[in-house]
A and B are shown apart, each in its own frame.
Chain A
């Protein structure tokens, strides 16, 4: 009886989303799945071609180049950004004078519109006089050609992604507010040092949020798009910055191959889904729900 009442309440609470899901999500999702089996340019009506798009993708060199680039990018940028974001959030959670100002400053890179940001980076990473290479030169390191050397374009993009961790940082910061000070104080009385406190109290307490950022990080880094799209049109030099989502976008809108792009979209969907499930399974053991 109690159970049924609860279930009805739960369903009622979820109703807006259930409606949103059906009204705004299902149709586009199913249509894109259907298009992935079609010859479809967005302008012409779709014509069923079976698994042709998937077969073609499998033999598409550019596709595999993009897969490789994306995996390299994600494998480095995701863990790095997570560590940096948590670190910064903890730093911003300390009790220091002027914290509101610091927090605002740390969030700034996330506020600047993408196009301005791309211009800024082109300027910072300039090989001759760029701010970064000038700074490196001052400490005796000869900076690489960030923008034109195929070996350095991906590291440049990873660097930019780390610098743009503002959103994840903010989420961590909010979650750190939920860590009861009483627990921290208790462990301090037990003689724990800063690292032990972090390891044994703080991290377990915010673990659901770490899990959230991990999942969003997987999705975001495998779908990396805006910055490479603006800064390296076409994935120059020599497709070293051509990523999965940029190729997908080009296929859909530049090459007018919406069906092909949809097939790419659904492959990526399956990959992300599997990775997310694995990541959730592995991390669930360490995730701690329900506070105390």
Chain B
């Protein structure tokens, strides 16, 4: 063997020692003798992260006791879950409101009731829709981060071409518009007025939009109700009107959501439910698009539902057994002040969850519909995910039922019955086990 290859393995090992030293140095920061460091984990990236980082920076400079170590990572929920389960949670993590029940039922969240009293974080300070979703069993489980509501976005050009100057008021009106706008040539869809499965993010919301409830708030899954059935039949009607295969073929031609080929941006779908963020996608991928937004229509016979919307809110939770609770609350208190909150929300191009907003805040917003999104959160018919520990599974089940109904594989009646039949035992088991734990004091 040659000399050179004799040196290969020892050389590799020597380099490894260098790498070892390097990784150890990188992973161990110098101790901070002055400030207490708290860990704050968020799932934001891009401009959303930049906005938060700059608020964190302000906070770090504003006092000399606490330093926020900000970590931005996709998959933050999973990371938080694993770290919490191993007993080393961060101080604060950014979750979505729908995740509260799972974390709260497990006793992983530090309840903020006392702090709310101390700092005056009360109902009358926040926009009702945003305050509502952070309450669970009468306790305040989290604080608002940046909020959003959703609205019917519509392509004004396509509407105009079919002779419509304004968006639909009722679902019946919308159905009529959809029939007129949707163009089918030689069995192929050319333009669609609306599709319940595009973008397919809130497939559980059609029932509530028709006035339906997803559970009774205690122990019963209530999918099979007249309102939910009406919604499911409405979903089915699209396949019946235009053909399941035709819709399927049409959808197969849609591009990736975050791209110029997004169905709404590429003039393929005239109306779509979207949140305050849609403006960012439009500006990035198709700034020429002419659009506007309005609250999603309501059923003609339910005018009481007028102006309803879905609440979508990122929230900060304080995790139990974290190392520096007091410091973390201090940071949360800073974030809930009007100035920093507006800076964060403005940077993320969203409205603020606080009722009081400055004129400057409104003036700097670049979303033309920002007032609409804010107003809707005051509506008494705000729709939020049910506060139920098995929600993620329930949601997947509803989504799948919508698929089956749209493909005409199942009738709406059967699909709803199947959801009830599958989810009720799961809810019973969940609540049962929770009760047993409570008795055993675990």
Q: Which listed residue, A145, A146, A234, touches B399 by the CB 8 Å rule?
A: A234
Asked if B73 is at the interface (CB within 8 A of a chain A CB), the reply is no
9-residue interface stretch from B147-155, B162-170, B246-254, B310-318:
B246-254
Residues of B within 8 A of A (CB-CB), count: 39
Taking CB atoms, residues of chain A closer than 8 Å to B248 are 145, 148-149, 237
Asked if B403 is at the interface (CB within 8 A of a chain A CB), the reply is yes
Asked if B392 is at the interface (CB within 8 A of a chain A CB), the reply is yes
Asked if A84 is at the interface (CB within 8 A of a chain B CB), the reply is no
A42 to B392, CA, bound (A): 16
Least distance between B266 CB and chain A CB atoms (Å)? 11
B380-421 interface with A by 8 A CB criterion: 389-390, 392-393, 396, 399-400, 403-404, 407, 409
B400 contacts A239, CB within 8 Å?
yes
Least distance between A243 CB and chain B CB atoms (Å)? 14
A160 to B436, CA, bound (A): 47
A49 to B248, CA, bound (A): 44
Whether A128 contacts B108 in the complex (CB less than 8 A), given A61-B422, A145-B248, A256-B81, comes out as: no
Asked if A96 is at the interface (CB within 8 A of a chain B CB), the reply is no
For chain A, what secondary structure do more than half of its interface residues adopt (helix, strand, loop), or is it mixed?
loop
Asked if B226 is at the interface (CB within 8 A of a chain A CB), the reply is no
9-residue interface stretch from A118-126, A177-185, A214-222, A282-290:
A118-126
Taking CB atoms, residues of chain A closer than 8 Å to B81 are 42-43, 253, 256
A43 contacts B108, CB within 8 Å?
yes
A43 contacts B255, CB within 8 Å?
no
A239 to B254, CA, bound (A): 20
Whether A44 contacts B442 in the complex (CB less than 8 A), given A61-B422, A149-B248, A150-B407, comes out as: yes
B442 contacts A234, CB within 8 Å?
no
Q: Which listed residue, B400, B422, B440, touches A234 by the CB 8 Å rule?
A: B400
A254 contacts B392, CB within 8 Å?
yes
Asked if B437 is at the interface (CB within 8 A of a chain A CB), the reply is yes
Whether A237 contacts B256 in the complex (CB less than 8 A), given A44-B106, A148-B248, comes out as: no
Asked if B103 is at the interface (CB within 8 A of a chain A CB), the reply is yes
Least distance between B192 CB and chain A CB atoms (Å)? 13
A123 contacts B256, CB within 8 Å?
yes
B102-132 interface with A by 8 A CB criterion: 102-103, 105-108
Asked if A255 is at the interface (CB within 8 A of a chain B CB), the reply is yes
A41 to B254, CA, bound (A): 37
Asked if B23 is at the interface (CB within 8 A of a chain A CB), the reply is no
Asked if A211 is at the interface (CB within 8 A of a chain B CB), the reply is no
Taking CB atoms, residues of chain B closer than 8 Å to A123 are 255-256
B396 contacts A146, CB within 8 Å?
no
Asked if B78 is at the interface (CB within 8 A of a chain A CB), the reply is yes
Asked if A223 is at the interface (CB within 8 A of a chain B CB), the reply is no
Q: Which listed residue, B103, B404, B429, touches A238 by the CB 8 Å rule?
A: B404
Interface string of B293-323 (1 = CB under 8 A from A): 0000000000000000000000000000000
A255 contacts B393, CB within 8 Å?
yes
**CB contacts between A and B, total, < 8 Å:** 90
A47 contacts B436, CB within 8 Å?
yes
A129 contacts B253, CB within 8 Å?
yes
For chain B, what secondary structure do more than half of its interface residues adopt (helix, strand, loop), or is it mixed?
helix
Cβ-closest chain B residue relative to A147? B252
Residues of A within 8 A of B (CB-CB), count: 34
Cβ-closest chain B residue relative to A40? B85
A254 to B103, CA, bound (A): 12
Least distance between A264 CB and chain B CB atoms (Å)? 14
Most buried by A among B77, B248, B252, B392: B252
Asked if A45 is at the interface (CB within 8 A of a chain B CB), the reply is yes
Interface string of B82-114 (1 = CB under 8 A from A): 101100000000000000001101111000000
Asked if B65 is at the interface (CB within 8 A of a chain A CB), the reply is no
B103 contacts A43, CB within 8 Å?
yes
Taking CB atoms, residues of chain A closer than 8 Å to B440 are 47
Least distance between A203 CB and chain B CB atoms (Å)? 32
A237 to B404, CA, bound (A): 8
Taking CB atoms, residues of chain B closer than 8 Å to A128 are 252-253
A30-76 interface with B by 8 A CB criterion: 39, 41-45, 47, 49, 56, 61
A205 to B77, CA, bound (A): 49
B106 contacts A41, CB within 8 Å?
yes
Least distance between B403 CB and chain A CB atoms (Å)? 4
B102 contacts A256, CB within 8 Å?
yes
5 contacting pairs across A/B (C-beta < 8 A): A122-B255, A126-B252, A126-B254, A145-B248, A254-B392
11 further interface pairs, Cβ-Cβ under 8 Å (given A122-B255, A150-B407): A47-B440, A126-B253, A126-B254, A126-B255, A145-B248, A235-B400, A236-B403, A237-B407, A238-B403, A253-B78, A256-B81
